[in-house]
Amino acid sequence: MSFTDADLIARVLSCEDHHAFGELVRRYQSPVRAFLTRMTRGDSHLANDLAQETFLKAWHKLGTYRGGARFSAWLFGIAYNELRMAGRRRKELALEDMVEPPPEPEGPAAASGSQLRLDLAEALKALSADERAAVILCGQNGLSHEEAAQVLDCPLGTVKTNILRGKEKLRRRLSSAYKNYESA
């Protein structure tokens, strides 16, 4: 029998059930860790530490979760907050262009699907943190613009602008690398 998120959350709140919380972690660890890995430009160790902090915070703050929002969006909000706090604590963290963006590809080539996906992952690293977060949350995790605005704690218009700018940069980068990226 499969429990809904709401069942598991109720169980955690009523009797601090570790098994129920474990099931929630199992369900959401992948998107949260993938998001944090992308946001830290591939630093999976840091991403895992931040993800662990995210779930520990979620355990303590679960009573403040309002069922109106999606649980995943609520978790992304905590994760993004952890990332920002870590960025303040550790100046070396590459939140804002601290790591050199990957170099522009040299010339157009024919695109294959898998190579294109790899290059998209590289191209995402070249975006600013705000653009990357907005593109990943909406483009890869299916959040609405409104949900992303809540997660990123910024106005809706800013999210839309960041998505437009981010996608434009990605498009430019992929077009310069692959003459046929739109049909690959």
Partner 1 sequence: MNPPETNDPLDALLRAQDTHVEDGGFTTRVLAALPRRRPWLRPTLLLGATVIVAMLAAWWLPWENLFPLGSPALLLLSPKALLPWLLLIAAVSSLVTGAMAVFRWED
Q: Which residues bind partner 1 (CB under 8 A)?
A: 15-16, 18, 21-22, 25-26, 29-31, 33-34, 37-38, 48, 51-52, 55-56, 59, 113, 116-117, 120-121, 135, 138-140, 142-146, 167, 170-171, 174, 181-184
**Largest CA-CA distance found in the chain, in angstroms, rounded:** 60
CB of 98 to partner 1, least distance (A): 23
CB of 91 to partner 1, least distance (A): 26
**Does residue 16 come out as left (phi exceeding 0), alpha (psi in the -120 to 50 range) or beta?**
left
CB of 16 to partner 1, least distance (A): 5
| Cβ nearer to partner 1, comparing 34 with 99 | 34
Residue type, position 179, single letter: K
Measured in degrees and rounded to the nearest 5, phi and psi for residue 181 equal -65, -30
- Helix (H/G/I), strand (E/B), else coil: 109: strand
| Cβ nearer to partner 1, comparing 58 with 93 | 58
Tally DSSP H helices, then E strands, for the chain: 8, 0
CB-CB neighbours of 180 under 10 Å: 13
| Cβ nearer to partner 1, comparing 38 with 41 | 38
| Cβ nearer to partner 1, comparing 90 with 171 | 171
| Cβ nearer to partner 1, comparing 98 with 164 | 164
CB of 84 to partner 1, least distance (A): 21
CB of 136 to partner 1, least distance (A): 8
d(CA 40, CA 98): 10
Q: Which two tokens stand for residue 74?
A: 């609520």
Partners of 109 in the β-ladder: 178
Q: Which two tokens stand for residue 87?
A: 């960025």
Q: Which residue has the tokens 């499969």?
A: 2
